[in-house]
């Protein structure tokens, strides 16, 4: 085997050193700086994205707080409007109830007056009706007809 030949060891070691130095120089001046640049660029992009995400998160939290404040204010406004409408409705119902009670009291008063007039009318007609009934009873009992002027009805009560 030629690689184990001891006479070629110094030249093989020389070329090994030359190849190592050339590769080291190529790696250190061309490839490693490019890789470092890519890694730094990646790190920079990652930090920018993290910062942007943090800014978006803070903005979202601010919007959420503003939304919650708006929602609380809207609920307060809705409750206030509800209370106003309820109070207005209660007031309107009280006014309508008062109107209806006044109308019903007026109608009741008119009905009571009509009832008193009818009662007075019936009371004034009562002696004549009683006289007719008494005449009919006497006629059936006695089989004799009496003139109306002979039948007298006494008023004990009024």
- Global pTM exceeds 0.95: no
State how many domains the chain has: 1
Tell whether 3 is covered by a domain.
no
Tell whether 155 is covered by a domain.
no
Tell whether 115 is covered by a domain.
yes
Tell whether 153 is covered by a domain.
no
Residue 12 in contact with residue 3, Cβ under 8 Å?
Answer: yes
Tell whether 134 is covered by a domain.
no
Task: Quick: pLDDT tens for 72-97.
Answer: 999 999 999 999 999 999 999 999 99
Looking at residue 156, the DSSP 8-state letter turns out to be -
Tell whether 140 is covered by a domain.
no
Q: Which domain holds residue 59?
A: 11-122
For residue 154, name the pLDDT band (cuts at 50, 70, 90). low
Tell whether 17 is covered by a domain.
yes
Tell whether 95 is covered by a domain.
yes
Per-residue model confidence (pLDDT) at position 20: 97
The residue with tokens 């994205």 is: 49
């Amino acid at each position: 085997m030629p690689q184990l030949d001891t006479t070629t060891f110094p030249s093989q070691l020389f070329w090994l050193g030359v190849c190592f130095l050339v590769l080291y120089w190529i790696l250190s001046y061309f490839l490693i700086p490019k890789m470092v640049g890519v890694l730094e660029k990646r790190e920079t992009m990652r930090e920018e994205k993290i910062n942007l995400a943090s800014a978006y998160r803070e903005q979202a939290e601010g919007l959420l707080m503003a939304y919650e404040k708006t929602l609380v204010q809207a609920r307060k406004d809705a409750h206030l409007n509800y209370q106003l409408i309820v109070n207005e409705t209660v007031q309107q119902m009280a006014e309508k109830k008062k109107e209806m009670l006044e109308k019903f009291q007026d109608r009741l008063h008119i009905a009571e007056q009509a009832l008193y007039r009818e009662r007075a009318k019936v009371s004034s007609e009562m002696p004549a009706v009683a006289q007719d009934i008494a005449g009919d009873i006497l006629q059936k009992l006695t089989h004799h007809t009496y003139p109306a002027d002979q039948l007298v009805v006494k008023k004990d009560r009024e």
